[in-house]
Structure formats: structure tokens, C-alpha cells
Chain A
Amino acid sequence: MGKKTLVPLGPYHPLLEEPEFFKLYCDGEIVKEVIWETGYNHRGIEKLCQSKTFEQVFYVVERICGICSTSHPFAYANAVESIPGVEIPERAKYIRSIVGELERVHSHLLWVGLAGHFLGYNTVFMWAWKYREPVLDMFEIITGNRNSYAMFTIGGVRRDISPEQAAQLLKVLDEVERKTTLLVGAVMDDPVIHARLKGVGILTAEDIHDFGAVGPTARASGVDIDVRRDDPYAAYDMIDWKVITANDGDVFAKAEVRLLEMYESISIIKQCLEALKKTEAGDIKVKVKEIPPGIGIGHAEAPRGEVFHFVKSDGGNSPVRHKIRAPSFTCIPTFRRSCVGGTISDAAIATAAVDPCYCCTERMSHVYDYTTGKHIMSAAELIKLSQEKTKNLKAKLKV
């Protein structure tokens, strides 16, 4: 493939031509109001699921979001399998958890990269995405694809993890852990990052409750919730791990929670791989003849928070109703509290802090004047503003 060179690229954002999603109304420097307009990515998935079989729905929900591609099948599996009350084999539980946690690692690395980009640290963007690659390669080896893994099926998983794959995965995890530690050190101790992220985009525990916000967004405000522990599924109640929380509720706290969660995820995967050795290879699914009439309510802890699926069956081949709620749906409205009162130059990073999933919900913002309603700047300009603030801070701090 040629020599690997680290090429620092300028401050562009490839998804510049995204449709308007947030309208930030500003009075001078201060954000006065945030309006959320959506629907651009509305693909009619809930209705689509009604015309697919229960098994086919897995492949549809995988593509709700490319980044949290396993979380939706996970929650859906929890929902639909609860209707007949299926108990999947232990080995399948471990494999599901492994895929789920690998996804958390790659998703948090992705977020670190994007946050770095918004702050003007494009090297962080490059590094984080470079260290993501071995994780995506492992996905390809285990599941056959870098994204959209098609691992889940009703009753278990579709592919097994061989001892060779497990050994490879362990090696990759060790490398990711080392690189993560480097990244954490470089990022979290940086005085400019402290200046940029601390005290910005604060959400209180009450804010979290009002909106029903979940995931790292909630945990960074001291709200101790995590579906994996509160309503355990797959292997999460069979291994040792802890929920990471922080207290300040600002962007720095959210970054801290995500970075530390990566270590927990790596530990979970290692324990699952160890546990796999004690289960019978090949015992990865049970046969489920049909889904009887009933209601299944399932949720899973995606990298962004709780993914919730509601499935109603009338005994037929397809769900009669399938309600899907991505975590970003309740996290994004919190901008009303976290961005309002802040400055425009902080808006880019404050919005990125809840890790809004592009496609569970779109992401770009535009800025309007509060009094005249005139369009002032676009998403790209908002990001540039953020990057400039960092530059100015660096000069001030003589870094």
C-alpha cells in the first residue's frame, strides 16, 4: 500500500454540505436559543420493519446508524427474544458482549478524533482514527465487515470466534490500550484542552432527568445509570466491570467518561474471551420457531447511551409495531440547556459533547441572529470559530 505518512490536513469537515439541523440564535457572541430541526435522514425505518420478517429486521436496524451498528441489533434482540422468552447459549452471550464492547471502543475513538478536529487538534483526529483501524480490522476478521456486522440472529449469533481470532483480538486490544493511554495522556493533561473543555456545555443532574438523557452524557453529570448494570443482558452480569461516572457535567467530564470507558470495554472483552474457552465451540444459537403474540421491550447500552426497542408481535412473521429510540433522541435536546448562555465559539464542541449520532439524528448547526433572524454562519464556519479559539488560547497560554 506504499509508505505510511502522517499528513496533517487543514480544518475541513467532509460533511459540510449536511442539511441544517440546529439553528443557533445568537445575540452577539452569546447563544440565546437552539432550535432542533430534523427529518432529513428520516428513512421510514419503523414502517419498513413492519414489512420485513423478524429475522430481516436485524439487517435493517443495523443500518439505522453506522457507528452504533451493533447496539440496535442488540436492543432489538433483547426485545424480540423476550417475547417467546428465549435463553440464548452462554457462548452467544459472550460473543454478543465482545462485539458490543468492541463497538464501544471504536465509537469512542471516533468521537475523540472528531472532538480533536473541532478543537483544532487535527493530529488528534488522525491519531484516534488511525488507532481505530486495527479495531475495524478485527471486526472484519470476526464478523466479515468493518461496519454493519450482521452478527446477531434470533436465538444467538451467526458466527463463532475461533481461538486464532481470539488470540489476534487480544494482541490488537493490547495495542489499542497502549495507544489509548498515550492519547489520554496527551489530551487530558493539555492546559489548552482544560481551558477549552472545562466549564463548557454543563448539564446538571436535573437537566439529565428532564430530558431523559442517557449514556456518557448522563454519567458525566454524576447520574449513575448504565443499562448493562441496571437491567443486565448478554454476559454483563457474568463478568467484573464498573460503570464510569464523573461529576462536573461539562465537556471535559464527558470526554473523561468516554476515555475511561474504553479501558473498561477492553477489560470486558478480555474476560469474555477467557470465558469463551470454557464454553463449547459452535454452540452459538438456539432455534426459535416463531415469535408468539406479545410485547417485547428491550434495551442495550450503546456507546451513546440506552438504545430502546419496542416490538409488538401478533404471532405473524413480521412485527406489527417496532418502535426504535436511539440515545441521541433524548440527548440532543439537552443543547437547550448546555449551549444556551454559552458563546458561539464553544457551540461546536458543546454540541459534539453529547456525541450526537449523525444519522440517528443529523448534526450540523447554523447560526442566526437572535433579533433579526439573519443567517450568520454555517456549520463549517462554526467549527473554524472553535478551532480559532483554541489557537488564541494557545497563544495566550504561550503553549
Chain B
Amino acid sequence: MDIEQYIKDIKIKFPKIIDAEVVNTKRLMIYIPKSSLLQIAEYLFKYLAYRYIIVTAMDSKEGYEIIYHFSDDSSGWIVNLNVMLDRDKPEIESLTPVVYGVEWIEREIMDLLGITFLNHPKPERFLFAEDWPEGKYPLRRDYVEEE
């Protein structure tokens, strides 16, 4: 895969892309605003027929970072969409209309980080016990163990 050309092409196609960089061998990170997520994800998943791998979410210095991982199995490249959410407003559109399989990982992220996925088909507790207290998100930096 001619990565230089690929980056050029995708930036032209989606001018709202903030940046695209090769973060490791055969690993491309595309930084996008959350408003562009569905459009670009649809391009990768439906048009280019990449394989959906999973979604990683973390509490980074700049805010809540969500990375959507897609695999281009024909070349071995993993193309990642990186969205940064404001700490004060951790919400984003659910990707379920585009990628059917994200339903469960979005629920897991809701549990672990307290991010809201708007229009999620089943925004229910996924990992935690019924008696797990509301508002406690173990992967947040400010998470404190209960006594």
C-alpha cells in the first residue's frame, strides 16, 4: 500500500481530517473531529470493506481519546480513526448504524469510562454487577477505589 498517496487521497476526500500519521510499522492513525466519524467510518468499513476490529477508549491528558481500529487484511495495515472528546462533554454518536458489531464495545466503554454514545440501540450496563455504583468509572484517571 502506497501510504503517502493513501494519506494524500484521504485528506482530499475528507477535508475535515485533522491529521494522519504513521504511528508504527503498518499502523496509520487518522485524527478526525467527532462530527466526521460516521462519514469516514462508512468509507473505510463499507466502501473499502475494511474489517472492524474493536474500539479502544482511554482517559488521556487532552481528554477522552477514542480509537476505532479497522484492518485492511489485503495489505496488513491497521487504519485507526482517532477522536478526542472534551472531558466536560464526553459524548459521541454511536457508530452502530455503520458498523453493526460496535454495539457491545460501546456499552463496555460506557461502563468503564462513562462516555455517552448517542442513539445507541441498547445503552445498558454491560460489564458491571447490578450493585456497582453509578458514576464510578474504573478507567478514568480520577477513579478512586471504594472502601
A interface with B by C-beta (< 8 Å): 36, 38-39, 42, 44, 46-47, 82-83, 85, 209-214, 225, 230-232, 294-297, 299, 306, 308, 310, 312, 320-321, 323, 325, 329-330, 333
Known pairs A212-B54, A329-B54, A333-B103; A297 contacts B78 (CB<8 A): yes
- CB-based nearest B residue for A218: B51
Partner of A39, one of B51, B54, B80, B127: B127
Asked if B33 is at the interface of the complex by the 8 Å CB criterion, the answer is no
Q: In the complex, what residue of chain B is closest to A82 when comparing beta carbons?
A: B24
Contact across chains for B56 and A212 when beta carbons are under 8 A apart: no
Contact A308 B53, beta carbon cutoff 8 Å:
yes
**Does B92 reach chain A (CB closer than 8 Å)?**
no
Nearest CB on B from A37, distance (A):
8
> A295 to B24, Cβ gap below 8 A?
yes
Question: Which residues between 16 and 36 of chain B lie within 8 Å of chain A, taking CB atoms?
Answer: 23-27, 29
Stretch at the interface among B4-12, B69-77, B83-91: B69-77
Give Cα A292–Cα B20 distance, bound, in whole angstroms.
21
With an 8 A cutoff between CB atoms, is B3 at the interface? Answer: no
**Is B73 a contact partner of A295 (Cβ separation < 8 A)?**
no
CA–CA, A46 and B108, complex, Å: 12
What's the Cα separation between A310 and B23 when bound, in Å? 12
Residues of A within 8 A of B104 (CB): 36, 329, 333
B49 at the binding interface (Cβ < 8 Å): yes
9 contacts between A and B (CB under 8 A): A36-B104, A46-B139, A47-B139, A225-B51, A231-B73, A232-B76, A308-B54, A310-B67, A323-B54
B133 to chain A minimum Cβ distance, whole angstroms, is 15
Is B129 located at the chain interface by the 8 A CB criterion?
yes
User: Could you tell me the distance between the alpha carbons of A39 and B112 in the complex, rounded to whole angstroms?
Assistant: 12
Contact A297 B69 (CB under 8 A): yes
Contacting residues, chain B, for A225 (C-beta < 8 A): 51, 73
A61→B105 CA distance, assembly (Å)? 19
* Nearest CB on A from B81, distance (A): 13
Tell me the B residues contacting A by CB distance below 8 Å. 23-27, 29, 49, 51-54, 56, 58, 67, 69, 71, 73-74, 76, 78, 80, 99-101, 103-105, 112, 125-129, 138-139
In the bound assembly, the distance between CA atoms of A42 and B127 in angstroms comes to: 7
Residues of A within 8 A of B58 (CB): 312, 320-321, 323
In the complex, the chain B residue whose C-beta lies closest to that of A50 is B139
- For residue A53, give the distance in angstroms from its CB to the closest CB of chain B: 19
A294 to B26, CA, bound (A): 14
A295, B21: Cα distance in complex, Å: 12
Q: Kindly report which residue of chain A lies nearest to residue B105, judged by CB atoms.
A: A329
Q: Besides the contacts A308-B54, A323-B58, A329-B105, what 11 more A-B pairs have beta carbons closer than 8 Å?
A: A39-B127, A82-B25, A83-B24, A231-B78, A295-B27, A296-B24, A297-B24, A297-B69, A297-B78, A325-B53, A330-B101
Collect the chain B residues with CB atoms within 8 Å of residue A296's CB: 24
Give the docked Cα–Cα distance between A310 and B26 (Å). 14
Q: Are B29 and A44 in contact (CB under 8 A)?
A: no
A297-B27, A329-B105 are contacts. A212–B73 as well, Cβ < 8 Å?
Answer: no
Residues in B with CB closer than 8 Å to A36 are: 104
Bound together, the chains give a CA A310 to CA B80 distance in angstroms of 11
CB neighbours (8 Å) of B71 from chain A are 230-231, 306
| Complex: A330 Cα to B101 Cα, angstroms | 7
Task: Give the distance in Å from the alpha carbon of A206 to the alpha carbon of B49 in the complex.
Answer: 11
Q: Closest A-chain residue to B61, C-beta based? A: A314
Q: Is A39 touching B52 in the complex (CB atoms < 8 A)?
A: no
Q: Cβ of A295 and Cβ of B25 under 8 Å apart?
A: no
Cα(A143)–Cα(B125), bound, Å: 40
Chain B neighbourhood of A213, CB < 8 A: 101
User: Considering only CB atoms, which chain B residue lies closest to A295 in the complex?
Assistant: B23
Q: How far is the CA of A320 from the CA of B104 in the complex (A)?
A: 23
Q: Which residues of A contact B53 (CB under 8 A)?
A: 212, 299, 306, 308, 325, 330
Q: What residues of A have a CB within 8 angstroms of the CB of B69 in the complex? A: 297, 308, 310
A44 partner, pick from B25, B103, B129, B138, beta carbons under 8 A: B138
B-chain residues with CB within 8 Å of residue A294 when the two chains form the complex:
23-24
> Nearest chain B CB to A339's CB is how many angstroms away?
16
**Once the chains bind, are A295 and B26 in contact (CB under 8 Å)?**
no
The interface residues of chain B lying within 8 Å CB-to-CB of A297 are 23-24, 27, 69, 78, 80
B95 to nearest A CB, angstroms?
Answer: 12
A362 to chain B, nearest CB (A): 12
Contacting pair B128 A42 (CB below 8 A): yes
> Are B76 and A230 in contact, with the CB atoms below 8 A?
yes
Query: In the assembled complex, how far is the CB of residue B3 from the closest CB belonging to chain A, in whole angstroms?
Result: 15
Q: Report chain B residues within 8 Å CB of A308.
A: 53-54, 69
| Minimal beta-carbon separation of B49 from chain A (angstroms) | 7
A182–B27 CA distance with the chains assembled, in angstroms: 44
Give B80's nearest chain A residue, CB to CB.
A297
With CB as the reference atom, state the residue of chain A lying closest to B70: A212
Partner of B26, one of A42, A85, A231, A320: A231
- Chain B nearest CB from A313 CB (Å) reads 11
Closest 9 A/B residue pairs (Cβ): A231-B76, A212-B52, A323-B56, A210-B100, A325-B54, A211-B101, A39-B127, A321-B58, A230-B73
